[in-house]
Amino acid sequence: METTLARGAHTTAPPLLQVDSVTLAFGGVRALSGVGFAVQPGSITAVIGPNGAGKTSLFNTISGFYRPSKGSIRFKGQDITRIPAPQRARMGLGRSFQNIALFRGMTVLDNIIDFLEIDHIRHAPVSALSYGLQKRVEMARALAMQPEILMLDEPVAGMNREETEDMARFILDVRAEWGVTVLMVEHDMGMVMDLSDHVVVLNFGQVIAQGVPAEVQADPEVGRAYLGSGNVDELRAKLRAAAGVAA
């Protein structure tokens, strides 16, 4: 039976995904250092951080494109640290990409599921679609694998407000109607704070804070990472502005 984790709810279920002390280095440069967090089944977990914090490197490590030098990744209790990316996808790790990775000569019919409300452009070449629709097709392709965890790398990057609101609705619907757990990297703080059950903050490849959105917003380390100061009120104002909420 599928279950959905409500905002602020606590669960005793074992994590669906467990990242434990993961370190990733390229030559002498550490992209990730001792990163650890858990993703609960039925949750929406967001990974945030300034540019260059290591978010995409973390996603590439979880999905199997990079192999960590230290630490482990467990999915459904199984150690998948050394399992290749295609096998991880077959196990239930579905992923979209920050840079759209569609076969641009294919039609939407080749990439699509009706769930994302794009039946009207099912015969259109992907290259002819708006950026927002291409992102939706990319998400649909990840969902076609029927994943247990849907990994979304900046799902609303470059979108206007209407497109962002549509994508946020689709993410909530995927969780509610399909029981899919969501792990996303995103820079849109308004969307992150509205949708997420759990937020993980990276800076310089390390986890500097994690918790429910309210806890993360109140953490001075997060303010320093984003603003170069400990002014939490300034950070909150920035998050409210991103969410379109009056001060």
Q: Which tens digit of pLDDT belongs to each residue from 167-209? A: 999 899 889 988 999 999 998 888 999 999 999 999 999 999 9
Residue 193's nearest CA partner among 237, 227, 229 is 237
Phi then psi dihedrals of residue 103, to 5 deg = -80, 100
**Which residue matches tokens 């689709």?**
170
Average pLDDT over residues 121-129: 72
Confidence of residue 247 (pLDDT cuts 50, 70, 90): very low
Give the CB-side neighbour count of residue 237, counting CA atoms within 13 A. Answer: 6
Angle of helix 131-143 relative to helix 161-178, nearest 10 degrees? 10
* Three-state secondary-structure class, residue 210: strand
Q: Which residues are CB-neighbours of 101 under 8 A, at least 6 positions away?
A: 138
**pLDDT higher than 80, residue 1:** no
Average pLDDT over residues 148-167: 90
Residue of 102 and 224 predicted with greater confidence: 224
Confidence of residue 27 (pLDDT cuts 50, 70, 90): confident
What is the pTM (predicted TM-score) of this model?
A: 0.81
Q: Which CATH superfamily is domain 17-243 in?
A: P-loop containing nucleotide triphosphate hydrolases (3.40.50.300)
**pLDDT higher than 80, residue 133:** no
Compute, in degrees rounded to 10, the torsion defined by CA atoms 120, 102, 110, 116. Answer: -40
Q: Which residues are CB-neighbours of 91 under 8 A, at least 6 positions away?
A: 75, 76, 78, 80, 83
Q: Give the number of other Cβ atoms within 10 Å of residue 149's Cβ.
A: 24
In whole angstroms, what is the distance from residue 101 CA to residue 99 CA? Answer: 6
Confidence of residue 109 (pLDDT cuts 50, 70, 90): very low
Q: Confirm if 45 and 19 have CB atoms less than 8 A apart.
A: no
Q: Confirm if 124 and 111 have CB atoms less than 8 A apart.
A: no
Average pLDDT over residues 157-173: 90
Domain boundaries, the chain: 17-243
Cα distances from 211 to residues 37, 144, 193, 204, 238, in angstroms, run 10, 30, 11, 19, 19
Q: What percent of the chain has pLDDT over 90?
A: 49
Q: Confirm if 135 and 89 have CB atoms less than 8 A apart.
A: no
In whole angstroms, what is the distance from residue 71 CA to residue 116 CA? Answer: 36
Q: Give the number of other Cβ atoms within 10 Å of residue 132's Cβ.
A: 17
